[in-house]
Amino acid sequence: MPCVADWLNSPLSIVQGIFAQNGPSPDWEKKVTEYFTEKLKENNATNWVPSLNDVPLHYLKPNSLVKFRCMVQDMFDPEFYMGVYETIDPHTKTRVLHFGKYRDVAEYGPQQEMDLNSSQMVTSERQTFYCVPVPGESAWVKEAYLSASQARVSPSTSYTPSRHKRSYEEDEDMELHPSKQKEQHMGNIDDIHGCGEPKRLETEASAGHQLISPNCSPPLDLNFPLPGEKGPACLVKVYERWDSFKVNDTLEVYGILSVDPVLSIVNNEERENASPLDPMECMDTVEEQRVHSPPASLVPRIHVILAQKLQHINPLLPACLNEEESKSFVSSFMMELSPLRAELLGFLTHALLGDSLAAEYLILHLISTVYARRDVLPLGKFTVNLSGCPRNSIFTEHIYRIIQQLVPASYRLQMTIENMNRSRFIPHKDYTANRLVSGVLQLASNTSLVIDETLLEQGQLDTTGVHNVTALGNLITWQKVDYDFSYHQMEFPCNINVLITSEGRSLLPSDCQVHLQPQIIPPNMEEYMNSLLTAVLPSMLNKFRIYLSLLRLLDYSISDEVTKAVEEDFVEMRKNDPESTTADDLHRTLLVARFLSLSAGQTTLSRERWLRAKQLEALRKARLQQQNCVSGNEL
């Protein structure tokens, strides 16, 4: 049986063995998937696989098994490839069958020729996803995945340690001048369509360099949704069930890493051969080719053997909560929930300057999630507007830093006039390059978005600014973003937790406004907030992280008996105060009761929790009325 090193370092040799045993029968593909599925089920086997999230590309061996935790940023058109092809030796007339799956280029010996008319040839289809690291992924998430990894890697012989420091222009220059090492690669590799002699490719690539070197292409835009993001972007080639994945899904993929330099050489040759007489052809080969076939050293390819949607990206939780081992983890954790909630409430109360009511609502907000949709209405969203925040203060920045330490993915959007007018919030389709250009609101499910409105000054919003504010309003109200496809808009549903910090009532809609009432004013805010994070034990911080992620995933229900009692209670409330008790109040109180129950580890609504929810709402409203009397603003 193959050892660990074989299936990790040389997965294609495993595939070759299975293909050789089963011949052209389609069963071989299923057996490959089954083989790697079983291998990855072995104890901690997934931790042996190097991750592109943790390991620099030049440390990974080409054609080895890798994994990648990512979000689908764009989906390219399906592509055809030779699933099975046949070669013939012109001297001995020996025929050999090869597989093309999990490869970018067809491989065969120097004494072999491809028989394009072979009856054994099989043309197959695969889907390419453009994937990026999960936007806004927290540093503690990256560190936890890295510390759990048992992958053994060393600098690959195909890359020098300094490669990752090269600019795009230097990379392109290197790849247009094939080195001796690349000539060795090309001695037995040809283009997957069987066209082109390796020596000819080398010659034309060198000639092409002379033509394009005076006008180097601009640096490649890796199309990350959030500014300042780092990490690899990958072209992920999916061979089966790609219909089950969609844009913005969070995936973990296991597949074969392809960084063959010949890919860039072939692409540059195609660009060079584009006819200048046909502008449309030029456009495709220069713009679209550049985006869809970037240098493999910058955007590697992963040929997927196994892929799964992630329920969450919290490394402290089991990946799938439905398995038996996971159920025991959940049940043991739920037993210590009550003291843990009290600890978290105390921690957030200190962070919110002694305001325990605001801390209660922040917990409810952090465990909220869209659990269903009724027509266009998203159920379970709980956008909180934390008003009363000091203007232009570092307070909101530190609140965000604390949230960042608690949730797996987050982003702080500074709502300034300049950001509103200049930032690209809404993804749009670039038809010239045939790609979806990302925007700030292209986020993975359950990302925490903190909108800091305390930085907003007087000024004029231009057309872009108005569209961006509208997009934020739609995100909050409907949990959807309308992507711009020029000739039409396409709705993309989302599940983003939005917290708005503001001085007065926010300009944006929200489900619940909580006015901050600080009980303490620290003389040095920065020192105070930093001491909070250093005071909490790392083990307790990890429990907070598990608590907030786990409670989002629990099921919840209301019994018929409690439903009837709630209805009767609401009718009574309307009788006593018809002016201020509306259907919106009932909906909000039910939401508060839902998350209050879940925060205590209860998956059904009890009479006690319902009364506590009413009490919290009464306190919140009383505080708002008191503030409005002071400020003279309308509720």
pLDDT (tens digit per residue) in 379-401: 999 999 999 998 877 999 999 99
CA distance 327 to 137: 26
φ, ψ (nearest 5 deg) of residue 270: -65, -40
What ranges make up the beta strands (E) of 118-259? Answer: 122-132, 189-190, 234-238, 250-258
Q: Which of 571, 565, 567, 562 is nearest to 606 (CA)?
A: 562
Structural tokens at position 86: 């046949």
The pLDDT score that the predictor gives to residue 391 is 83
- Within 23-88, residue ranges assigned H as helices are 27-41, 45-48
Question: What is the sign of the dihedral through the CA atoms of 463, 465, 466 and 468?
Answer: positive
pTM of the predicted protein model: 0.86
Quickly state the pLDDT bin for 325 (edges 50, 70, 90). Answer: confident
Amino acid occupying residue 324:
E
Mean pLDDT across the stretch 5-16?
A: 90
Please check the confidence at residue 272 and state whether its pLDDT lies above 60: no
**598 with 554: CB under 8 angstroms?**
yes
Distance from C-alpha of 449 to C-alpha of 607, rounded to nearest angstrom: 33
Tell me the C-alpha distance between 258 and 12, whole Å. Answer: 11
Helix (H) or strand (E) run with residue 303 in it: strand 301-309
Could you tell me what percent of the chain has a pLDDT over 70?
85
Q: What is the distance between the alpha carbons of residues 373 and 366, in angstroms, rounded to a whole number?
A: 20
Q: What is the mean pLDDT of residues 197-226?
A: 49
Q: Which residues of 217-227 are buried (b: 16+ CB within 10 A; e: fewer)?
A: eeebebbbbbe
Q: What's the pLDDT band for 535 if we cut at 50, 70, 90?
A: very high
The CA distance from 69 to 226, in Å, is 17
The DSSP letter of residue 109 is: -
Cα separation of 232 and 52, whole Å?
7
| Tens digit of each residue's pLDDT (9 = 90 or more) over 502-512 | 999 999 999 99
Position with higher pLDDT, 71 vs 189? 71
- Strand bridging mode 377-379 / 497-501: unpaired
Q: Rounded CA gap, 288 and 291, in Å?
A: 5
Q: Are strands 497-501 and 384-387 parallel, antiparallel or unpaired?
A: parallel
